[in-house]
Amino acid sequence: MKWNFSLIISFVIISLSSALRLNSSVLALRTSRIHNLDRFISKPRNMSNKIDGNAIAATIRGELAEKVKAMTESLGVTPGLAVVLVGERRDSATYVRMKKKACAEVGVTSFGIDFPAEVTQEELVAKVEELNADPAVHGILVQLPLPPHINEQVVLDAISQEKDVDGLHPLNVAQLCNTKTHAPGRNTWSFDAINFHVSCTPQGCIELLDRSGVAIEGKEAVVIGRSNIVGIPVAMLLMQRNATVTIAHSRTKDIEATVKRADIVVAAVGRAEFVQGSWLKPGAVVIDVGINSVDDATKKAGYRLVGDVNYAQCSEVASLITPVPGGVGPMTIAMLLRNTVNGCRRIASSSS
């Protein structure tokens, strides 16, 4: 059989060309897949880097329910929380309902004391002193704000240190600032083993970091805001966990550069979406304490809730970040319950 040399050459060229086109297509497909995979790996954002405060708080409530059950069986005592509400502010009434619901969930007895807005300061202080002496009450919370004719600090100072589950009594604050957040005689960290109450929201911030696997020791932390309720106590807690802490505030020069250094950012400044994504060090952990309302015509209520950081921007840069709502908020109530349970245990142990 005779072969046409030109025909053979043409067949070889066509075969080679087809193979090259196939290889190019496969290479392009592989490159595309690798590129897409690289995009996925380098940006596990929005969902995967969200710290779910609702889930963590639910876990803590479950743990507390077990502790309350064991305490009731072993010590014969049930923790009791008294919540004092003055006036008819809808937001305050909502918060009180949430706290009572959480109490019922974990087995803590709740005592609701409601006063009209016209109540005198003397009447309110007298009720607090009555609750101080009530052995069934292990924690007292006066819902703030109070009407302008009442000095809030006078009322808060009237709550006994042992029952000040908000952690705002001067002696509890002094204990915190006296580096006593380590259990007596121990080097390990334990909110359960200390003998005083730590403010709920700052305690919740630390708990979120711990339960999200964030190492605090040796890290640089920036706290934005210097309030007595959040900024200062959370800065103290971070410092006592061996972080290097900077408190930024309204007089801080070049606050963007200050925040840029931080491995951990706690925003508690009370300004909607104040912290921008460009301010963050890539991979920083962000705890957003703020809760602000901004106009939003697409919402039925005409507004939406946002934090002190620009979540859309910051979630693209941060390794972990708390949303608003659903971040720090649920933890505040969980820590209130934990303070009440711990207070009950301490009171019961001291009287046995």
Residues 112 and 229 both lie in one domain: no
Residues 155 and 211 both lie in one domain: no
Does 348 fall in a domain?
no
Residues 211 and 308 both lie in one domain: yes
Does 96 fall in a domain?
yes
Residues 143 and 237 both lie in one domain: no
Q: What is the pLDDT of residues 285-306, one digit of tens each?
A: 999 999 998 999 999 889 899 9
pLDDT(348) > 70: yes
Does 185 fall in a domain?
no
Residues 212 and 294 both lie in one domain: yes
Does 173 fall in a domain?
no
Cα separation, 165 vs 185, whole angstroms: 23
pLDDT of residue 351: 74
Residues 136 and 206 both lie in one domain: no
Q: Which of 52, 164, 166, 308 is catalytic?
A: 166
Residues 152 and 225 both lie in one domain: no
Provide the number of structural domains found in the chain. Answer: 2
Residues 145 and 216 both lie in one domain: no
Strand, coil or helix: 234: helix
CATH number at residue 233: 3.40.50.720
Q: What is the 3-state secondary structure (H, E, C) of 91-153?
A: HHHHHHHHHHHHHHHHCCEEEEEEECCCCCHHHHHHHHHHHHCCCCCCEEEECCCCCCCCCHH
Does 156 fall in a domain?
yes
Active site residue 203: no
pLDDT of residue 245: 98
pLDDT of residue 6: 52
Active site residue 153: no
Q: What is the pLDDT of residues 63-110, one digit of tens each?
A: 999 999 999 999 899 999 999 999 988 888 888 999 999 999 999 999
Residues 159 and 203 both lie in one domain: no
Most confident of 27-41, 42-56, 204-218: 204-218
Q: What is the pLDDT of residues 166-183, one digit of tens each?
A: 999 999 999 988 865 554
Does 253 fall in a domain?
yes
Q: Can you tell me which residue has the tokens 């502790």?
A: 67
Cα separation, 249 vs 264, whole angstroms: 16
Does 37 fall in a domain?
no
pLDDT grade, residue 349 (50/70/90)?
Answer: confident
Q: Which of 52, 127, 143, 281 is catalytic?
A: 143
Does 217 fall in a domain?
yes
Active site residue 100: no
CATH number at residue 114: 3.40.50.10860
Q: Which of 67, 99, 127, 163 is catalytic?
A: 99
Residues 242 and 311 both lie in one domain: yes
Provide the residue range defining the domain that includes 258.
Answer: 199-328
